[in-house]
Amino acid sequence: MKTAAFPELASMAFRNLGRHRVKTAVTVTAVAISVALYIFIDGWLLGMNLDSKRNIVAFEAGAARIQSKAWFAKKDELPMYESFGGHEALSARLDEAGFDTAPRFLFEGTLLSRERSAPIAFIAMDPGREAKLLRWQDYVASGRAPVPGRFEIALGSMAAGKLRVDLPARPDAAEFEAMLAAAADADEAVFVRGLYLDAPPDRVAPAEFRRLKPVLAAMPGGKDVLRAYELPWDGDAWRLRKDARPAAFGELAAALRAAGFDFQPRHTLRPDASRTDRDRLWAILAASGRMDVRISTVIDIKELPARVDASKFEAELLPALRSDDRALASRAYPADPASGDRALAEADPGRRDRLLRAMLDAGFAPAVRHVNQLIDAVVVGTVDSPNPKTNGNVAYMPSDALQDEAGMMLEGRITELLVRAKGADDTALPDPGESPRAVKAALGGALPAGLEVYGWLDGVEDYIAASRGDEVSTRVMVGLLFVLSFIGIANTMLMAILERSKETGMLRALGMTGGQVLAVYVMEAAAIGLLGSAIGVAAGCLVNVPMVAYGIDYSGMLENMGTDYGYRVVAFFRSAWNPPVIAASALVATLVSGLMAIPPTLRALKVPVTESLRFE
Amino acid sequence: MTVVETTGLSKDYLTNGLTVHALRGVSLSFARGDFAAVAGPSGSGKSTFLHLVGCLDEPSAGTIAIEGEDVASLGRRDQALLRRSRIGFIFQAYNLIPVLSALENVTLPLVLLGESRTAARSDAERALAEVGLEGMGNRRPKEMSGGQQQRVAIARALVKKPSLILADEPTANLDSATGRDILELMLALNRDEGTTFIFSTHDRMVMDYARRLIVLKDGLVDSETGS
Amino acid sequence: MKRTIAACALAALLAIPALAQDAAAILAHVDSNEGYSSISYKGTMTIEYRGKRFVKTFESVARGRNESWVEFTNPEDRGTRYLKRDGRLYVWSPDTEEVMLISGHLLKESMMGSDLSYEDTIDSETLSARYVPALKGTEDVDGRKAYVLELIARKKTESYPKQVLWVDAETLSVLRFELYALSGARLKDYRLVRSELIGGRFFPVEFEMRDLLRKGSRTVFAMREVQLDVPLPDSAFSMRRLEQ
C-alpha cells in the first residue's frame, strides 16, 4: 500500500462509521461494556488476591514453614501423629540466619461451651514467638490473647458468637437477664446494665408504622424515630437504618414506647464502650462461667500395633508394603502357632521405626492409635482480624499447657514451624530471601530427613482453588461478553461490506489493490473497537476509582457464606489498579475488532470486479 | 499507436447451470485517439467486452494487450495497478463514493497514484472546472443531479490522464440534453488530450457521435464502420 | 485397741494381693461372659436428645469380635447397613447408594445420632488384654452388690485410658461402667437395664448409654430374639451383601 494514500483511506473508513449511526453506536456500546466490565473485574480480582495474599502471610502462614513430608502429604486430615520433635535446634539455627520462627501444633476437636458445641481447628502455639511473625494477636477484639502456661483460648469471633463465649452484642431478654444475674453484686449489675442500650426494634410492620406515624410526627423527638427507619424497596417491614446512631437508641426506644408501641426490649452493647469497660464485662461474664469451655478431641499417636489379625496381616498390610518392607514386617510379626495372629516381636528401634513408617505410608490404620481426650479451658478473648480464617472456627492455645497427659501429650512435638525474615514488612509479600530454598540454605545440613521447607502458598489450596476458580469463571464470563460484542462487530461489518459491494467494485476499478480495500474495512472495524475501548476504559477506570479507594462492604454476604470461601479478606472487597491489563484490554478489543472485518472483506475481494459492480 | 488489442476474446458465464457465451472470439484493435462506440442489442456482449478490456474480469479465452502489455499474464494486484495508472472508467450509474465529496472523489485516483495531497487537490479542481463543475467540489454525490454526478465521474476518469477511458452506457441514465452535453464534453477531451474513448451503448446519439462504430451480435462482431 | 488396728492393717495388707488376683479373675470372667462365637438378634435403639425421642430398629448378626452386620429397619433409616470386618467399619446408605469407609475422625462421630460413637463399636481385643484391673471395693448398684473395678490401660495409647466397671458379685455381669479421657475426665456412662440367662450365662439384653458431652442425651439399646453361638455363613459379612 502506498503510504501516501493512507490518510485518505483512513478518512474514508471513519466516514463510513457515520453511515449507520445506530448500528455503530450499539456495537461501540457493546465493546465499551465488555472493556469496562473486564477492567472492573480484573481490578477486583487483583485487589482481592493481593489483600488475600498479604493476609495469608501476615495471619496464617508467614513466609515459609517446615513440616514433615508425611504431614504435608496428608495435610487435609491434619495428621497430628506425623508431628516432629527437636525443632528448637532448627529455630536456633534460623535465628542466627536472621529468621523469626514460630512452632505450632495443629489438631482438630470439638469445643463445648455451656450451651453449644462446634468443630474447631486448634492451633497450639507459643504466643510470644507467634507475635513476632503473625499479627492475629493485634486483632483480639474482646478480651485478651492467651497467656503461656494456661489452658486459655483465643477464639475466632464468629465461632465465639455461635458458641456464645463472647460479649453479647444484642442479647435477647432472657440472655440479658442471665447476664445481670451473673453480676456478683448490685454495683456490677448496674455496670452491666449501663453498658447496654435499650434499643428500638429492628423491624416494624407497615400497618403498625402507619398507625405510629401521625403520633410520632406530633411528638417531640418523634421525627428522629421516623428518620431512623426506612422501607427497603423489597421490604415487607420498616427497618432500622444501618446508619442509625446507637447513642440515640435509648431516646428512640423511649419515643416509640411513648407513642404507644409496645415491643420486646432488645439490648445493644454500647458501640462506644471503652476497652476497660469491655474488659470488665468480659471478666464478669467469665466469672459466671460463660467463657468456660471443654475441648473434646482425640490424640492420634503412631505406634506399631502389638497384635495384628492373621487375615488383616496377609490381606491388607503385606500387599500394601514394598517387598523389602514386607520381609521386615514378616520377621517383626511372627505368627502365633495357635491362632495364626501376628504378635510384635521386633526390639531393634531402627527396624521398628522403619516398619512404622512403612505402615503409615501404606495407610495401615492400626498403626495409628486414637486416645480420647477432654480438656477444660477458658476462652479469654476473641479474634477478629482482616483474615477470615482467624475469625472462624479456629482456637489459639498456648502449647506449653498441652505438653502432658492433661493436654495433648505433645512432649515437645510440633506439626509445623513457621518462618519469616526478622523485621519483614507485613504489607510486603515474602521476598526471595524468605523462599523455601533460602530457608533450606540457611539451615545448611541441619534439616532432618523427613522434614521439608514449604512455601507460604503450599498450605492454602482453598484460597488458590477459589482464586483460580473465580479467575477462570469470571474471565470466561467476560470473555463471552467480548465474543458477543465481536460477533456484533463481525455482523455489522458483514452487512456493511455486503451493502457496499458496488462501492467496493468501484474502488477496485479505480485501481485500489485488495490490500487497500482490506485496510479501509479493517480500519473501520478497528475504529469501532477503539471507540468502544476508549469509552470502556474511561468507564472502567471511573468505577475503579471508588473501588480502589473505598471498596464495597459485603459483610452481609460474608455472614451467609461463612469463613470458608477461600479469599482472605473481610468486609471489604477492594480493587487494585492494573495498568497493563487496562491497556491490554483496550488494545486487544481494538485489534480483534479490526480482525472481524477480514473474513467478509476477503470474501468480497474474491468476486470479480464486474460482479461487484453489478450488485444492487 | 495501438492502445488496445484483443484477439479471439471470449467469455462464458455460467448462469443457473447454463453456459452463456457472452463473447465468442472478438478480435479488435483501438488506436490512440479513437472515439469508438461498441453497440448492439441487450446481451450482445458489449458490456462484457468493455469489462474485459478494463481488467475487471478474466476472459475465458483470447488475449488483451493494453499498450502492448499482455493483461492475462498479470496478477490481480498488477491488474489493479494497471487500472490505476492507465484506465479511466465511466459507468451508467456514475458509481461515485458516497462518503466523499465531489472533489475528494476526483482526488482519489491521484492519491492512489502517489501524488501529493496538495498537487492532487489542485489537479482535481482543474478537472472539475474542465467538466463545468467549478465551485461544486464540496458537494456530496447525493447533493448533485445525475448529469452533475456523471460529470464528476468523467472528471475522476480523466484526472489521472489515462491512455484509455472506458465508458459503459454513460448516457443511459441521463435525459437527451444532458447526454448531449456529456458527449460534447468527452469529445472535446478526446480532441484536446488525445485520450482513447471506448463506449458501450445502445443510444443512437452516442453512435452518431462516435467516429467508429462496432456492432456486436451474439458475442461476435456483426459490423464495423468508421475506423 | 492398738492391736486391733494393727491386725486390721495387716489383714488389709494381706488382702491386697488377693484382691488384685480377684480383679484379674473377675475381668477374665467379664470377658468370657461377653465372648461368644456368634450372635444374632433384633434390636431397638431409643435415643433421647434435647427433649426429643427417636426410635430406631435394626437386625444384627455378629461373629467373634471382628465381624458384625447391622441393618436398620425403621422407616426413616430403612436400608442403612453397617459392616465391620478386618478391623474396618463400612456403611451403606440408601440415599447415596454408596459404600463408605468410616475412618479417622469420623470414628469419633455419633453412630446414627446415638450416644455411641463408631469407635465404640470397633474395639476387638478383650478388656483383660488392654487393661490392668484393680478392685476398688464393693458398692451397691440398684440393690445388688457389685465389685468396683478400676481399669487402667496397659498402654498410654488406649482409646479410653481408664474405665471403671461395676460387676455383679453374684452373676459377674457388668451392671455399669464409665469411660474416661486421658485427662481423667469422664466421657461415657453405661448402665445395664436388664440381662437374661441365655445359654447358661447372663447376657445384657437392655442397657443405657450416655455420652456425657451431649447434654440431656441418652440412648437405650434393647435386644430381642437373641441367639448365641448359632453358625452363620461367611456371606453374612460380605461386602457384596453390603452393596446389595
What are B15-28's pLDDT values in tens digits? Answer: 888 888 889 999 99
- The tens digit of pLDDT for each residue in A533-569 reads 999 999 999 998 888 888 777 665 555 555 566 777 7
Q: What percent of chain C has pLDDT over 90?
A: 41
Contacts of A508 in chain B (CB under 8 A): 56, 80, 83
Q: Looking at residues A346-375, what average pLDDT do you find? A: 90
Q: Looking at residues C120-141, what average pLDDT do you find? A: 85
- Asked if the structure places residue B180 within a domain, the reply is yes
Q: Do B83 and A608 touch (CB under 8 A)?
A: no
- Segments in C43-190 forming alpha helices (H): 127-130
Establish if B81 touches chain A: CB-CB under 8 angstroms.
Answer: yes
Q: Looking at residues A258-286, what average pLDDT do you find? A: 85
Domain total of chain B: 1
Q: What is the domain partition of chain C in residue ranges?
A: 2-35+126-223, 59-123+230-243
* Cα–Cα distance measured from residue A423 to residue A416, given in angstroms and rounded to the nearest whole number: 21
- Asked if the structure places residue A410 within a domain, the reply is yes
Min distance A8 CA to chain B CA atoms (Å): 8
Q: Looking at residues B76-90, what average pLDDT do you find? A: 91
Residue B106 has pLDDT above 70, yes or no: yes
**Which pLDDT does position A32 carry in this prediction?**
93
- Please give the grid coordinates belonging to residue A365: 490404620
3-state helix, strand, coil in chain C (%, to 5): 25, 50, 30
Instruction: Average the pLDDT over each of A420-434, A517-531, C99-113, C209-223 and give the range with the smallest value.
Output: C99-113
Q: How confident is the model at residue C164 (pLDDT cuts 50, 70, 90)?
A: very high
Min distance C168 CA to chain A CA atoms (Å): 27
**Which pLDDT does position C21 carry in this prediction?**
56
Instruction: Return the CATH architecture of domain C2-35+126-223.
Output: Clam (2.50)
**Which pLDDT does position A244 carry in this prediction?**
73
Nearest CB neighbour to A512, from listed B80, B96, B104? B80
Q: Looking at residues C224-230, what average pLDDT do you find? A: 88
A339: Cβ contacts below 8 Å, ≥ 6 apart: A310
- Asked if the structure places residue B202 within a domain, the reply is yes
Side chain identity at residue C101, one-letter code: L
Min distance B66 CA to chain A CA atoms (Å): 15
Q: The CATH number of the domain where B97 resides is what?
A: 3.40.50.300
User: How many other β-carbons are positioned within 10 Å of the β-carbon of residue A10?
Assistant: 15
Residue C13 has pLDDT above 70, yes or no: no
Q: Looking at residues B163-181, what average pLDDT do you find? A: 87
A569: Cβ contacts below 8 Å, ≥ 6 apart: A48, A51, A52, A55, A386, A387, A388
- Please give the grid coordinates belonging to residue B133: 463543475
Same domain for A330 and A382, yes or no, is: no
The CA-atom distances, in angstroms, between A372 and each of A21, C101, C190 are 77, 21, 17
**Which pLDDT does position A395 carry in this prediction?**
96
- Asked if the structure places residue B125 within a domain, the reply is yes
Domain total of chain A: 4
Q: Looking at residues A88-114, what average pLDDT do you find? A: 94
Which range scores top for mean pLDDT: A142-156, A194-208, B70-84?
A142-156
Q: Looking at residues A39-68, what average pLDDT do you find? A: 89
- Asked if the structure places residue A267 within a domain, the reply is no
**Which pLDDT does position B96 carry in this prediction?**
92
Judge residue A243's burial from the number of C-beta atoms within 10 Å of its C-beta, 0-12 exposed, 13-18 middle, 19 or more buried: exposed
**B103 lies in which domain range?**
34-56+75-225
Q: Tell me the pairing of strands B35-39 and B212-217.
A: parallel
**Which pLDDT does position B65 carry in this prediction?**
93
- The tens digit of pLDDT for each residue in B192-205 reads 888 899 999 988 99
Q: Do C182 and A369 touch (CB under 8 A)?
A: no
DSSP secondary structure, A46-73, as one string:
HHHHHHHHHHHIIIII-SEEEEEHHHHH
* Cα–Cα distance measured from residue A89 to residue A441, given in angstroms and rounded to the nearest whole number: 15
Side chain identity at residue B77, one-letter code: R
3-state SS track over A241-264: CCCCCHHHHHHHHHHHHHCCCCCC
- The tens digit of pLDDT for each residue in A470-481 reads 788 877 887 888
Q: For residues A134 and A125, is the Cβ–Cβ distance under 8 A?
A: no
Q: Do A303 and C108 touch (CB under 8 A)?
A: no
Query: Nearest-CA neighbor of A103 among A403, A412, A404, A549?
Result: A412
Judge residue C62's burial from the number of C-beta atoms within 10 Å of its C-beta, 0-12 exposed, 13-18 middle, 19 or more buried: buried
Contacts of A512 in chain B (CB under 8 A): 80, 84, 112
Same domain for A506 and A606, yes or no, is: yes
**Residue A375, beta-bridge partner list:** A295
**Which pLDDT does position B14 carry in this prediction?**
83
Q: How far apart are the first and last CA of chain B?
A: 13
**A221 lies in which domain range?**
203-262
- Asked if the structure places residue A107 within a domain, the reply is yes
**Which pLDDT does position A377 carry in this prediction?**
96
User: Which tops the pLDDT comparison, A114 or C123?
Assistant: A114
Q: Tell me the pairing of strands B69-70 and B87-91.
A: unpaired
Q: Do A510 and B89 touch (CB under 8 A)?
A: yes
Q: Looking at residues B175-195, what average pLDDT do you find? A: 87
Q: What percent of chain B has pLDDT over 90?
A: 49
- Asked if the structure places residue B63 within a domain, the reply is no
Contacts of B108 in chain A (CB under 8 A): 8, 510
Q: How confident is the model at residue A616 (pLDDT cuts 50, 70, 90)?
A: low
* Cα–Cα distance measured from residue C142 to residue C70, given in angstroms and rounded to the nearest whole number: 31
Side chain identity at residue A335, one-letter code: A
- Asked if the structure places residue A127 within a domain, the reply is yes
